Structure 1
Amino acid sequence: MNTQPCVFIVDDDDAVRDSLGLVFETADLAYQTFASAEHFLESYCPGQPGCLVLDVNMPGLDGHELQAELNRRHIHLPIIFLTAYGDIPMTVRAIKAGAVDFLTKPVSTELLIDRVQAALRLEANTYAKGQAVSNRLAGLTARELEIMGMVVAGLANKEIARRLGISHRTVEIHRAKVMEKTGATNLLELVRVHEASRL
């Protein structure tokens, strides 16, 4: 898989895709263009770093529907909406669903590059945090992972022991190992680690 960050341009207008591609090429940013949301979904390899520059009004899946589908698939690419037909309710909807920006065409080259670079930095930080969480969880045994899931679900040690058919003391030992290996110092931190592992 390519780990170089890429700007994914999704717009049904050929001229817009070409002009955006030229902007990113001039800024020395890798990019790929897609004429439809469906084409992007078919081509994108989950985990490939980058950001999405996305039109709203397109035939087939529109920009909001693509955003919803990416959320459904747990694909967390930063999204910058770029549309000629933006309004406040549309902007609020996009940002609430997780978009990092909402720009209206025409947009200055400098502003667009600045926003894309900020989104790529955000994505790189998120990726690094995800890797750190993965590294912490990699050391857990299957039983420790199982117990961690039950702990964050709010089950007491005695209930975990009953459900797994093991002693209360064994649960305490596993729980202590989970805290040690994940670096969590309390239940709230453990919940955060667990949630981050599911992103």
Structure 2
Amino acid sequence: MAARDEIALIDDDAELLDALSFQLDAAGYHVHSFGSAAEFLVAVSGLSLACIVCDYHMPGLNGMDVLRALAARPVQTPFIMLTAQGSVPLAVSAMREGSVNFLEKGQPASELIAAIAQAIATAVKGKEQVLAHRIRLQTLTPREREVLALVADGLSAKQIAQQLGTSYRTVETHRLNLGKKLDIHSPAQLNELLHLAGER
């Protein structure tokens, strides 16, 4: 039997917490329920979560506080904010802080389940892309890595040649090899690849 994705569900409304936990469990998720943000933040480091679903309005720490606390962690987990009183400014703020979705309470559970599935699928695809980019970067020689860093910093081939004490033609050869190995054709593409691979 395949392992079930683990979901953290955070809400101070015990009745809603139980109902959503039951529905998510029935949908095939392993649910960790928390009645407060503080309780969740104490436990989160020991969990391997695929998604976090958190109420915005809670006494003490609210959903935005949870988002901000999680931003400092090295592993980013998809985060869905729930609220009983949604507003456009609140939704925009939540998205800016890193929430992948913002849902109003009272919607059918199927909407939350679909949002969780989409958030997990997007995160998995992103991790696969990061791994693919890192593998491509590992194919580079040490000298190509040096040239890569200087190209990413915006230096021209002539400037790179001067800095590395080599010929312009040699630098151009390295740049051609970089383009072939990494399938990139501009400094912008290079910087995007480095960013996605977590190297910028």
Normalised to the residue count of structure 1, the TM-score between the two structures is 0.79
Counterparts of 1:20-59 in structure 2, within 5 Å, are: 20-41=20-41, 43-44=43-44, 50-59=50-59
Mapped to 1, the partners of 2:173 and 2:41 lie a distance apart of: 44
Give unmatched runs, 5+ long, in structure 1.
none
Match of 1:78 in 2: 78
**Runs of 4+ that moved beyond 6 A:** none
Give 1 or 2 for the bigger CA radius of gyration: 2
Counterparts of 1:136-155 in structure 2, within 5 Å, are: 136-155=136-155
Task: Supply the RMSD in Å over aligned alpha carbons.
Answer: 3.0
What CA deviation, in whole Å up to 9, does each residue of 1:100-141 have, x standing for no partner?
221122232122112222222222222222222122122234
Give unmatched runs, 5+ long, in structure 2.
none
Tell me the matched-pair count. Answer: 196
Equivalent residue letter for 1:192 = E
Mapped to 1, the partners of 2:118 and 2:125 lie a distance apart of: 11
- Give how far 1:39 is off: 4.9
Match of 1:102 in 2: 102
Query: Structure 1 pair 57/192, CA: closer, same or farther in 2 (3 Å)?
Result: same
Mapped to 1, the partners of 2:110 and 2:60 lie a distance apart of: 31
Query: Structure 1 pair 185/106, CA: closer, same or farther in 2 (3 Å)?
Result: same
Mapped to 1, the partners of 2:188 and 2:52 lie a distance apart of: 32
| More moved, 179-188 vs 30-39 | 30-39
Identity among equivalent pairs (%) = 32
Normalised to the residue count of structure 2, the TM-score between the two structures is 0.78
Task: State whether structure 2 residue 187 is matched by structure 1 residue 184.
Answer: no
Query: Structure 1 pair 5/28, CA: closer, same or farther in 2 (3 Å)?
Result: closer
